[in-house]
Amino acid sequence: MKDNPLSDKIRLLHILDAIDEIEAYLSGLNLDAFLENSLVKNATLMQIQIIGEATSHINASLKQQYKNVEWQKIKGTRNIIAHEYFGIDYEIVWEIAINNLPDLKEKIQVIINEIPE
């Protein structure tokens, strides 16, 4: 098992912070504006990587308790961005940011509220 100096709650807060960052980046943008802005695209990718990295360090018991979160898919997305960066489909990144992250944010907020300090 990896050394886990940060608590699960801190990791979950990192996920929320990253989602908030993405929401700020994409505020007022449509897909075309997103695709034309390399700064926003790359910043969004970085925050998605942070989400995946934080996810990979959350204890297995918490992941088991909250099976409604697709932990493995989140980590897998991070791995694709980190290792297959030359083949990233930014329309898929947009879809993740717009369609998946709001739901993830809600689920993470519930977990944070339910786990002890």
- Sequence-distant (6+) residues with CB within 8 A of 115 are 8, 9, 12, 62
Q: Specify whether 14 is catalytic.
A: no
The H or E element that residue 76 is part of is: helix 71-83
Q: Which of 11, 14, 57, 78 is catalytic?
A: 78
Active site residue 78: yes
**Domain residue spans in the chain?**
8-62+69-110
pTM of the prediction?
A: 0.91
Read off the pLDDT of residues 43-100 as tens digits, 9 standing for 90 and up. 999 999 999 999 999 999 999 999 999 999 999 999 888 888 778 999 999 999 999 9
**% of the chain exceeding 90 in pLDDT:** 82
Report how far residue 111's alpha carbon sits from residue 34's, in angstroms, rounded to the nearest whole number: 31
